[in-house]
Structure 1
């Protein structure tokens, strides 16, 4: 058994996936494997790369099946093939640092019953995803924290922070989960690793409910990349968001619906795919598995206002407000509509993504001047101003020897 498995589900983004694989292959770590689950229309591209270019025993390829799989089913078959003690999933346009194994080993020595580890992530937009001004970000911390599960529960299930995204942090996506925990989740939850189409938050719900000990590392160990064909890219364009949502629904077929009948906030609402799909996943989980989420409705209404206020234009703001207002009017008989109070007059910020520098422990860098052409190149550049992995693994608190 290897110690760590990196899973990369991919569909029709072979060029990005190949860049991710080449970068990981440069690692000198040996106690890990990379499992690529290809769900693309053309299987020849990645097959050729594995046969004729990669030739690395640490890497395995799952070819496409006869029919295109939904995202949740592709993730499902990927984890079923995992050979590692710990497992993570990243996107095909992302990057991860395999030497994080050193930090995992340290945490396993220090914390009993450790089953989930999260870490800070850098963010980076590929050059083809800069249709507007964009910033890359680098968190600069390196401390270790043991969060209280009660607080994580409130953040995720009650949406207690009232922000447009709940900050739960833990889960298999850009985080490490013990394989034994994933097997326990499968036994308890419908005999599947993943159920809901919003797969990352499906898993976060289950990890936060089930993990015995969770540890967070402030040091960034992966990069959330966003290429022009990614779901993240849709935040820059209403048209692209609609297309991606339509494609997602088409490939989902007759499987698990994204939203429940009693939660009328469709990810197909213009501009609201992300907040609606996250909220729908947490609502579904709490209803199906009898999880107390008292306060969610009111908190979600306030979070929805923040979502509207993040709009880049007045038109975008008005579209979001109208879609959410219709949703709240239909949600539990309109009981929570009074808490959705977006301002009548909205003036968008003309400095959004324009200012770079240090803010709340992260460095923001204007990407129009970046020379890094891939997430891995950006990670190598950013390592010059974050704590080295080996220092974090050994518990050192300073750069100097």
Structure 2
């Protein structure tokens, strides 16, 4: 971080999560950064994944001194400013750059349109469509979201998961009428760049381990009676990985030199003001400066090797607003093509979220099921937008 940030630039706290996670030779897994390297082990969908070591202290008395330092810093950061840099995560820098590079290839290669069209997002029931997965083009009508997106989610796969989800929906037939099948498909990988199919699942597996480490530390940071509560709620996380491409704004919609950003001017942004739906967002982005903007006007800037992290709506719900899901948007006024890859570490699909007793919660408090919250957000954002292809 710069010691003398520019006006409006946000100097974020730095959280070192390494006391809560380590890896078996994290830099030795060459397959993630070099897809020609033979795989030695197979896991899940076929990608080779390294193993994370996740210390599990049972009470605050069992925390090591370095864990206590992380916990104290995390407690301060989630309350204010709500964003922080995450270091010590053990994700190789080469893999982070590979993820960005593949995203850039997908969006900007000279022959990129046919691969995009081949996995275009489709409505539920239309071929492979589930209303959410796949590629979504820039919508020329919605200028407050001037970006392309390629979306991946945890899959509802396996007989037990499918049966449990069907039973969950069957017991609540009137909750979300008209969106049957939403988010129930398989992830779609483009034919080019082909390496996405191997690199991205490995990257997701690593970040799920990082997410568990942060949520464990957060349980101690918020002094929960059960420090493993968040870990349990996010086990079998219904995660989301978004690969976002921000083309330069058309000249007519760019800010003039010296013109201030207007919070009410939603015609000028790459992504409109929003909070994040779930628990934890870990943002990987290219070195475009000043693109992410908080509601107070400050702009966190990319820091090499670190993730910009913020909490989401579910943590705000659990804490009764003590920790806030910060509103932010994307302002990309440059001439280059910006790439951003946020990873959202979320609760399990059917987790019920209500204010915790540690924050004054009772059984009478309002509750939300994460699946309902997620579907409501997707249904109100891009599910009902046009499908390009």
TM-score, scaled relative to structure 1: 0.26
From the two aligned structures, give the one with the greater helix fraction.
Answer: 1
TM-score, scaled relative to structure 2: 0.26
